[in-house]
Amino acid sequence: MSDSIYLRQLEIGPMANYVYLIGDRETRECMVVDPAWDIDAILETLDADDMKLTGALITHYHPDHIGGHLFGQDIPGVTDLLEKRPVKVFMHKEEAPYVKKTLGLESSDFVPVDGETTVDIGKLPVRMIHTPGHTPGSMCFMVDGNLVSGDTLFIGACGRVDLPGSNPEDLYHSLDTKLKKLPSDTVLYPGHNYAADRTSTIGRELETNPYMRFDSVEQFLGVMGF
Ligand SMILES: [Zn+2]
């Protein structure tokens, strides 16, 4: 990791979600990945670190990542963030309709993007990697040798594919053609704290994560129960 990157992993909420702050230490600009559960705590953290929020990046539309109604409760998220700090919110174009429906919100601050585009935070380029499967417009973010993977890839596991909009074949192909091809020393920052460790590497997952070791879609689908 270079000296100029600011990267913080915050565990917030009852579902062990990880919220990430990614920034450029030189320009002090910063974006939040998947703002949810406790917007004040997120903003207090970046304020205390003297970072300025310039945007939000969405891995996928599920309410534990962006806020909304889930299991009879209203989870704070993007809507509350925009009330406090109006910033651009980047999401994959295929995820945008789901994000709007989950939040019950249409905003001119929403910026739908393609996979394989780049969003700059200060002088720090963040590569958007479209990884459909868990949801149609799931994205991972690659920045300076670090992969923020949302619910696509966990340490020792991968995202569920039995939810509305999930597609197990797509997830297999996202892992096989995109994440498995990343440099092995890429540091993995998953969307939930579901493992003993808080981070891993692509190389370690290639050796130990069964979902990264299948070499056919049939094998993958069999283990996933399809
Ligand atoms: Zn999810």
8 CA to centre of ligand 1 in angstroms: 20
174 CA to centre of ligand 1 in angstroms: 15
Is the pLDDT confidence value at 2 over 90?
no
C-alpha to C-alpha distance for 3 and 24, rounded to whole angstroms: 9
**What are the beta bridge partners of residue 146?**
143, 187
Is the pLDDT confidence value at 180 over 70?
yes
Domain residues for 111? 5-224
CB 20 within 8 A of CB 33: yes
pLDDT score for 223: 82
CB 44 within 8 A of CB 67: no
Domains identified in the chain, total number: 1
> What burial class does residue 189 get, using C-beta atoms within 10 Å of its C-beta: 0-12 exposed, 13-18 middle, 19+ buried?
buried
Extract the tokens encoding 59: 């891995």
131 CA to centre of ligand 1 in angstroms: 13
Is the pLDDT confidence value at 170 over 80?
yes
Question: Domain holding 36: CATH number?
Answer: 3.60.15.10
pTM for this predicted structure: 0.96
